């Protein structure tokens, strides 16, 4: 693993093993460990070393200096067999255990393993106030909406391409039938081979909309297959998967700066307008919610869009304080 990349290293893996990581560090460690079988074996090696160190500490009374000298002897000789431990006067807290767990990794697993894993550390990219388009190691790309984050390995190894998303992102995946691309969003797993789609997570609900190809979405063992023009809303609270037709392209406004409606229900357009313009628009009468609208808005002000809606459906637009009512 790379010592140049602070997102993951042996110390972080040891810290994760000891249960001393915070939520962000735990997420990074788990992402790296689950990136492939080789990573899992590497972590299991660390775990084995730590467990053996605890066993020795529980059955013997090592002093810190003696333990350190024996650890150095292991590193210098390259041997991994357990060396005899002599009984001495108890030394109090076994601080040397943490040191041994971090330092002995290289000598135990060897120089080859170190070089094999140096390039598999995690990379984290976050979008600030603006969107961010990021290329991924396999040639795929993701455009992150503002305030969103993606974590991925510096190099995809093993049998899958695993990333973790927070917020919203539009993915264009390079095809590879031998190595599926997998996105983890909390409890939701999105799996593809090569396609383009949008993933958005807000308040325990993950929405996936497919532009091209086929996408598989899994939530707590339940799975659905989505095709172009379809979307699913995965609710982590109710463990439900609601599949619907996606009418128009409102979801990718943060990329195209266009609101494309294609028989889109008025309620969906209003929801998007509230998000884009930070407005407070409400539909006063339920029967108006399902009215379909087909048009494209680009560069218009909110008032101009409201005028089009009013003329299209012959409805009134009233402003009361900071609220806008359609009735």
Cα-flanking dihedrals φ and ψ of residue 208, to 5°?
A: -120, 125
Choosing from 95, 117, 139, the residue where a domain stops is 117
Range of the domain at 295: 253-326
From residue 204, alpha-carbon distances to 186, 236, 325 in Å are: 8, 6, 28
Regarding whether 64 and 48 lie in a shared domain, the answer is yes
Beta pairing partners, 207: 200, 233
- The 3-state DSSP class for residue 279 equals coil
**Residues 211 and 198 sit within 8 Å (Cβ to Cβ):** yes
Averaged pLDDT in 10-residue chunks for the chain of 327 residues: 48 81 84 82 75 58 53 49 39 46 46 42 90 96 96 91 96 94 95 94 94 94 94 92 93 94 94 93 92 94 94 91 89
Regarding whether 183 and 129 lie in a shared domain, the answer is yes
Beta pairing partners, 8: none
pLDDT of residue 57: 53
pLDDT of residue 38: 76
40, part of any domain: yes
Regarding whether 234 and 139 lie in a shared domain, the answer is yes
Regarding whether 312 and 219 lie in a shared domain, the answer is no
Q: What is the pTM of this model?
A: 0.63
Number of domains making up the chain: 3
pLDDT of residue 230: 96
98, part of any domain: yes
Choosing from 53, 84, 117, the residue where a domain stops is 117
5, part of any domain: no
4, part of any domain: no
37, part of any domain: yes
Q: Which residues contact 31 (CB under 8 A, 6 or more apart)?
A: 122, 151, 152, 153, 162, 163, 164, 184
270, part of any domain: yes
CA dihedral over 71, 72, 76, 77, signed as positive or negative: negative
Choosing from 117, 147, 176, the residue where a domain stops is 117
Regarding whether 148 and 240 lie in a shared domain, the answer is yes
Question: Of 140, 150, 202, whose CA–CA distance to 174 is shortest?
Answer: 140
Number of H helices, E strands in the chain: 8, 19
Pair of tokens at residue 58: 């529980």
Regarding whether 231 and 130 lie in a shared domain, the answer is yes
1, part of any domain: no
Regarding whether 113 and 178 lie in a shared domain, the answer is no
């Amino acid at each position: 693993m790379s010592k140049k990349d602070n997102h993951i290293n042996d110390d972080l893996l040891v810290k994760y093993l000891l249960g001393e990581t915070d939520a962000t560090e735990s997420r990074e460690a788990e992402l790296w460990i689950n990136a492939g079988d080789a990573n899992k074996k590497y972590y299991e090696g660390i775990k084995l070393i730590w467990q053996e160190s605890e066993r020795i500490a529980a059955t013997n009374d090592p002093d810190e200096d003696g333990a350190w000298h024996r650890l150095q002897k292991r590193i210098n000789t390259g041997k991994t067999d357990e060396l005899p431990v002599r009984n001495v006067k108890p030394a109090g807290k076994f601080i040397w255990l943490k040191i041994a767990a971090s330092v002995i990794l290289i000598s135990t697993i060897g120089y080859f393993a170190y070089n094999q894993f140096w390039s598999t550390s995690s990379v984290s990219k976050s979008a600030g106030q603006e969107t961010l388009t990021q290329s991924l190691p396999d040639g795929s790309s993701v455009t992150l909406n503002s305030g969103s984050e993606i974590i991925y390995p510096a190099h995809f190894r093993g049998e899958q391409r695993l990333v973790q998303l927070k917020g919203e992102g539009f993915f264009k995946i390079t095809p590879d039938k031998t190595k599926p691309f997998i996105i983890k969003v909390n409890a939701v797993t999105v799996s593809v081979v090569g396609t383009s789609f949008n993933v958005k997570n807000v308040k325990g609900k993950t929405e996936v909309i497919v532009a091209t190809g086929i996408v598989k979405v899994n939530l707590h063992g339940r799975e659905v297959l989505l095709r172009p023009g379809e979307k699913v809303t995965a609710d982590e609270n109710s463990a439900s998967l609601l599949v619907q037709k996606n009418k128009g392209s409102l979801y990718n406004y943060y990329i195209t700066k266009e609101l494309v409606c294609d028989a889109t229900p008025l309620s969906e357009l209003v929801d998007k307008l509230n998000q884009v313009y930070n407005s407070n628009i409400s539909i006063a009468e339920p029967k108006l919610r399902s009215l379909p609208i087909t048009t494209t808005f680009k560069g218009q002000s909110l008032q101009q869009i409201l005028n089009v809606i009013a003329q299209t459906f012959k409805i009134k637009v009233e402003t009361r304080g900071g609220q806008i009512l359609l009735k």
